Structure formats: structure tokens, C-alpha cells
Amino acid sequence: MNENEDTRGLMTAEEVAQRLNVKRATVYAYVSRGLLQRKTLAGIDGSLFDAMEVERLAGRSRKGRRPGRTTPTFRSAITTLHNDEFYYRGHRACRLARTETFENVAHLLWLDRLDLGDGFVPNRQVAERLAHWGSLLPAETLPFDRVRAFVPLAATLDPMRHDLNTASVVDRVPALMATLAAALASSEQRGTLPDTRFGFAQWLWSALCPATPSESQLEVLNAALILTADADVMSPTTVAARYAASVGSDIYSVIGAGMHSSGGAVQYASSLAIESYLGTFDDRSIGEIVGERLRQRESIPGFGHPRFSKGDARAALILEKLAGAGFASDRVDKLSEFLEMQHKRGLPEPNIGFAISALAYVARMVRGSGDMIFAIGRTAGWAAHAIEQYNNEQPLPRPPSLYVGHPPMSD
């Protein structure tokens, strides 16, 4: 939904359902009972609802609930889910993934301007220091776990990290993201990279894969970063980041809160678990692998998503680009065979967790790359929500609590 004068203060049916913690059908039941009034605007599909009216209904529904069930209300103009697709500042995310660079989309999230995104240049001195600290970790430490450790270390090297001004945050975050990627790369890779349209994707690729990518392969990674950049305000990792921002935490702490609350896993799919079973495709037949999991009553993660009734369009786009990016045909063919088998079995469509893991598998990236792609892409969204929260003049109310421990002892 475009953020213009006509739509300010209005919510989509999906947003209302999420706010009231009900199904979408229940929202329309409220309309029929006169509890909500729906509006329509020319050029915008679907019904719209007055946000204040929704809040009044939310207040009524909270009466009589236990205090611990109360949830905060985040007002955000960044991302919404509409007709089974995410929109960033009113722009369809899948369309942005076809036409824009990740850098440009990050600036759209941060500043509501789809212009040339810059600043994604690593601080090589900081990257070298982080890489040195990283060398002290066990060799098998996954990329995401390294980066999660790097963020607070990078904060100690930035004396101005407590400047919460929007310009300061927008200056720091892209440099931090590029520096984290550079710190994961080898010392040779931290030299000058080839000049491509997808600059940040190039830095991240160098950290995750020793092979030199083609432009079309970088385009797949660029699209994956865009499509993981945000997933609306009530995504669990975003809630953690916004809470951190609401108490005045610096941007490094906000990003750290998002990373630690995610554990690196894409919601509804553990990329590491998916990578693990995809990695067995090289040595055994697809039927043998799937049959063994079924015999052992093990689920096959990466399919279906409760928020999408028609399938995850983000995953479909990444898999489409992956098939035509010129990767080695053996793994592309294995992936295609597996997806065809799952389709014939009647499973739901793949979700974005599967799509990112498929990229890591086909590109022969290092183990754990899927989690890393998700976390670094979502960093752009966490920063956007931090900026919005820093500029919010209405602080979040303290959630109510109920003490259930031992009674105070008398002296």
C-alpha cells in the first residue's frame, strides 16, 4: 500500500488480523457485526480500515485478559503484507528484487527514497581487526556465529556509536555490513573486488564462496538479500530490535538483538537443517534420501509458510533466478528433481528458507551460508525499524508484569 495522504492512518485486512491476533475471516466478521467499518480507495486492491478504530477494538478485546498477555503496539510505515506479498514503503518487494540493487532497497527502507544507495564500503582496518579476532575462534565456527560475535566487537571500535541521529545511523550501518562481510573473507579477497553492479552482494559472496561469480549469479544473491531485508513490524526478530531501539540502545546493540533473537534461522525454516539434507544429494539418489526420511518419520523442512495462502512469492523468484544463473548443471538438476518430487507428493510450495539454502547448495557456498544471507539481509530491516523507533516521540509503554515468586521475607 502506497504511503500517501489518502492511506495514512489506514490498515490492510492482513495488518488488522495481525494486530487483533485473529484470522482474516474474523476481521470481515467484525465488519458484518458493525465492530469495524471498511473503506476502499481507487487504485488500491482490498479493504482498508481506520487504525484508530482498530486500536479501540484491540483495547476492548484486551479487557479481562491476564496482564502478561498484553502486547505492544508498533506503528510502522516500512513493510506490510498485502495479497500474499510483502511491500516495502509501498513497493512490491518481488518487483524491487527484479529491478534494484540491495543497496538501493536498503536506502528505501531507511529513508523512504529509492535512490542510489552508497556507503557499503568496508572499513578495512576494522575488518582486519575483526578477522584477527575471528581467527581465535574454532575453525568450524559458522559464518553467522562469527558475525554475531563481530558486531559488539565492532561497536567497541566506534566511539560515536551512541549517536542515534538518522544521518549517523544511515552512515554507519552500510559500512558495518560491508565490514562484517570483508572480515569473513580471506586476506586476498579483502583486496579490491571486481567492479560490478551488485557491490554489496560481491562482498558477501567473497565471504561465503571461493568461486568467482558471474553477474547473473550475483543477481541471485542480490535478490535474496532484498527479499530477506524485512518481514513487517511484528516479525519476532524485528520486535526484539525495536524493543532495543525503544530504550535508546545504539545501532550495534539493536542489530545484535535482532541477530541473537533469530539464531540465524529464517522464520519457519532452519536454513542449516535444509542445507544439511541438500548436501546429501551429491552422493545418493533423491528417492533414496526422501524415502529414508519418510521411513524414519522425519519432516522435510523448507516447505509451506503459514502467512502465505498461495505460496511464498519470494522463494519462487529466487528459485526462478537460480535456475537461469548458469550454475553447474549437476546440482541444478538435482534440485529440480527434488522439487518436482515434492510437488508430486502434494507438499506446499517452498518457502524462502528453502530458496536461500538452495542458493547456498547450488553455488557450493560454505556450510551455514543460508543463515548468514538471511541475517545480513535482515540487518537492513532491523536498522530501518531502529531509525523509525528512534524518531518516535511516543515511547513504548512498559508491559505489565505479575510477580509469582516467594513473598517478601520479614527481617
From first to last of the 411 residues of the chain, give the pLDDT tens digit. 444 545 667 888 888 888 888 888 888 888 877 788 888 777 677 788 888 888 878 776 555 444 334 456 678 899 998 888 999 999 999 999 999 999 999 999 999 998 877 789 899 999 999 999 999 999 999 999 999 999 999 999 999 999 999 999 999 999 999 999 999 987 776 666 656 788 899 999 999 998 999 999 999 999 999 999 998 887 889 999 999 999 999 999 999 999 998 765 555 457 888 998 999 998 889 999 899 988 998 888 889 888 888 889 999 999 999 999 999 889 999 999 999 999 999 989 999 999 999 999 999 999 999 999 999 999 999 999 999 999 987 767 666 677 778 878 876
Per the structure, the complete domain to which residue 24 belongs is given by 10-71
CATH number at residue 40: 1.10.1660
What distances in angstroms separate CA 396 from CA 79, 91, 259, 366, one per listed residue?
Answer: 19, 28, 21, 40
Which residues share a beta bridge with 350?
303
pLDDT of 197 reads 82
Kindly state whether residue 179 falls inside one of the protein's structural domains. Answer: yes
Kindly state whether residue 404 falls inside one of the protein's structural domains. Answer: no
Question: Helices (H) and strands (E) in the chain — how many of each?
Answer: 18, 6
- On whether both 163 and 263 belong to a single domain, the answer is yes
Cα of 32 vs its chain's centroid, Å: 36
Joined together, the cell numbers standing for residue 163 give 549517536
- On whether both 38 and 152 belong to a single domain, the answer is no
- On whether both 339 and 263 belong to a single domain, the answer is yes
Residue for grid cell 482498508:
48
| Among candidate residues 197, 196, 220, the one with its CA nearest the CA of residue 208 | 220
- On whether both 199 and 293 belong to a single domain, the answer is yes
- On whether both 206 and 270 belong to a single domain, the answer is yes
In the Cβ-directed half-sphere of 336, how many Cα atoms lie within 13 Å? Answer: 12
Kindly state whether residue 220 falls inside one of the protein's structural domains. Answer: yes
Query: In this structure, are residues 252 and 169 in contact, taking their beta carbons and an 8 Å threshold?
Result: no
Please count the structural domains in the chain.
Answer: 2
Residue 57: count of CB within 10 angstroms of its CB: 18
Residue for grid cell 552500510:
174
CA-CA distance, 313 to 349, in Å (whole number)?
A: 9
- On whether both 315 and 219 belong to a single domain, the answer is yes
Kindly state whether residue 20 falls inside one of the protein's structural domains. Answer: yes
Count Cβ neighbours within 10 Å for each residue of 160-183 and write b for 16 or more, e otherwise: ebeebeeebbbebbbbbbbbbbbb
Kindly state whether residue 409 falls inside one of the protein's structural domains. Answer: no
Query: In this structure, are residues 271 and 301 in contact, taking their beta carbons and an 8 Å threshold?
Result: no
